Amino acid sequence: MSSGRELAMVTTLERRKIGFSPNDSPLWYREKKVALMRTIPRSIQILSAQLAFTCIIFPATTSLANDSLVIEGSDGWVTKLESQKGLEVVDDFILPSGKEGALRTKVLTTDTKKKPSSVTITQSPVWQNWNPIDNLGPVNLGDAPVFLRVGPQNYWIFGRYKGDKPRNSRSQNASSTPAFTPEPATLDGFEIPLQTTPFPNQYNAPGGLMPPLGGYHAWQSRDMINWVHHGPITEKFSAWMTTAEFADGKAYFYYDFPNDQDPHVYVDDNLFDGLPGDHKGMAYDDPTHGSDCGIIRDLDGRFHLIVEDWSPINARTHAWDSPLAAHAVSDDGVSDFRTLAPPVDERTKSTGKIGTYEHPHWVKEHPERFKTNVAEFEIHEPEQNAFGDWAAICVGGQYYLFCDYDPVDTKQMSVGWFTSSSLDQQFTFCDHVGNGHPDPDIMFAEGQFYLVTQQNSDFVSPGPWVETVEARAGVDTNNDGTIDQWSDWQEVKETYDYVTGFAKQVSKTPAQLDLSSLPEGYGFQLEVKLTDSTDNKSKPMIKSLELSFE
């Protein structure tokens, strides 16, 4: 891009507004504009300046050397576009600066004829398109909810059984409510005897009639609306349940004992009998305080625990959360967990000083192991954001960790999330949603992603992809430098599905434009239209365009 052409697009008013000098370079101008850009989510650190023009024109052609071409990164969005309107480049992504925008690439030329096959469009993994919904699950489910997808139309939620007390609401006066008489019932998808309950959209299976044991209970659904209660899965001493997995026909229920310490596990091959499964005891002898772990199996079948690590913070004054998370992996999910590098590390600078705090449960619940409630931590400055109560999911190879988010600059907690392309790499903070102390969990069900919390509002999302993206491609068939034939405009989007044998792995079909109807040619051009069609803060943020050939 020529410097003179770019500078000609800068208005006198803009130059004065940011202190522009005629001797300054276009790169300086773009960098200076960063300070004037609108605020976007904290997950996206602004690394490149806003393209501040209504339309930018570039040289019209570029040579094509490989069997595919990828346009990505701030440099790619500058050097390989012929024009754009209503877009900006932020942190290597191109997105609408308002509600809509469009781009056209240069004509991509080659010396020999090529047959185009597809265009693949990839978006940012930040995943901001969450919409609030009413409470998920049974109204009488208490404490931190835990999700588990066993298979298609086989969804489970676990929590404490709270009688007639809905989450975060007072129970009605029992004396004003007549005694409830259960009646036989039927429900699509359930071939077992059922009874009605006093709770809406909830039924008791035979296991649900077993006596409570003071721990977590199980509810099952085929549609995320109606729930069948199957009774206890843990006991009173194991009531601090945090997460669950499923492998080879067995559920793995992880709980802290005592609270905020050492993940323990049950392995249960019968979720219908109203009885806890095989109690395996301590799964991970955590060298730190914190736990509130999340569990996920990778595609090789290994179990990964994500655990709070309170060593750098006074957890008592930070909602029992921390800027640091630990990571441990096991082949069987029951024992021999090996500690790996931290997946989340948002610590500030250590002062080298040691502080202390007290936890109310350790000695009371497990005096044989804990002789004191006092814990030490390394003091850090400045004050730190804190995260915890981890929940994990993987979408098309991209891992996400959902969590409590307790920020420094406000006392308002919410659900936060991090992402990484690998469990063995550092995760990057994305964004947050909602209000209150969440203790979240996440599950893919009925073609959507459900984010459940212990607060009054939960959330649903169609997935990380943000609508609407439309595209078409053109071909220069006779090597004269102009496009002779265009494909039809098509809306493209990612789609998601279950991965057989895995509860928390979700497959992704890429967003692709089929070009099989186009002929061979010497030059190729792409046009893309982006429209912000959501009611939330998300926008379609394009990471890359890839043109492939047969």
Query: What are the pLDDT digits (tens) for 348-362?
Result: 999 999 999 999 999
| Closest by Cα among 472, 434, 433 to 456 | 434
Q: How many CB atoms lie within 10 A of CB 3?
A: 10
Checking if the pLDDT of 13 tops 80, the result is: no
* 404/546 Cα distance (integer angstroms): 36
* 458/222 Cα distance (integer angstroms): 19
Q: Say which residue, 442 or 65, is predicted with more confidence.
A: 442
- Say what the pLDDT of residue 443 is: 99
**Tell me: the pLDDT tens digits for 295-339?**
999 999 999 999 999 999 999 999 999 999 999 999 999 999 999
Question: For 64-159, where are the alpha helices, taking DSSP H only?
Answer: 73-79
**Tell me: the pLDDT tens digits for 489-515?**
999 999 999 999 999 999 999 999 999
Query: Where does residue 411 rank: exposed (0-12), middle (13-18), buried (19+ CB within 10 A)?
Result: exposed
* 354/362 Cα distance (integer angstroms): 20
Query: pTM of the prediction?
Result: 0.87
Query: What rounded mean pLDDT belongs to the chain?
Result: 89
* 531/97 Cα distance (integer angstroms): 10
- Say what the pLDDT of residue 164 is: 54
- Say what the pLDDT of residue 418 is: 99
**Tell me: the pLDDT tens digits for 173-202?**
545 667 899 999 999 999 999 999 999 999
* 434/235 Cα distance (integer angstroms): 31
Checking if the pLDDT of 31 tops 90, the result is: no
Checking if the pLDDT of 526 tops 70, the result is: yes
- Say what the pLDDT of residue 28 is: 30
- Say what the pLDDT of residue 40 is: 40
The residues, ordered by sequence, that sit 6+ positions from 7 with a Cβ below 8 Å of its Cβ are 26, 29
Query: What number is the average pLDDT over the span 250-259?
Result: 99
36 DSSP 8-state letter: G
- Say what the pLDDT of residue 3 is: 34
- Say what the pLDDT of residue 410 is: 87
> What's the pLDDT band for 406 if we cut at 50, 70, 90?
very high
- All structural domains of the chain, each given as residue ranges with its CATH number in brackets, are 1-36 (no CATH), 47-127+466-549 (2.60.120), 131-461 (2.115.10.20)
How many angstroms separate the Cα of 133 from the Cα of each of 413, 418, 434, 452, 461?
18, 22, 11, 10, 10
**Tell me: the pLDDT tens digits for 408-443?**
998 899 999 999 999 999 999 999 999 999 999 999
Tell me the three state secondary structure of residue 30: helix
> What's the pLDDT band for 110 if we cut at 50, 70, 90?
confident
The residues, ordered by sequence, that sit 6+ positions from 508 with a Cβ below 8 Å of its Cβ are 395, 396, 397, 494, 495, 496
Query: What number is the average pLDDT over the span 263-272?
Result: 99
346 DSSP 8-state letter: -
Checking if the pLDDT of 14 tops 60, the result is: no
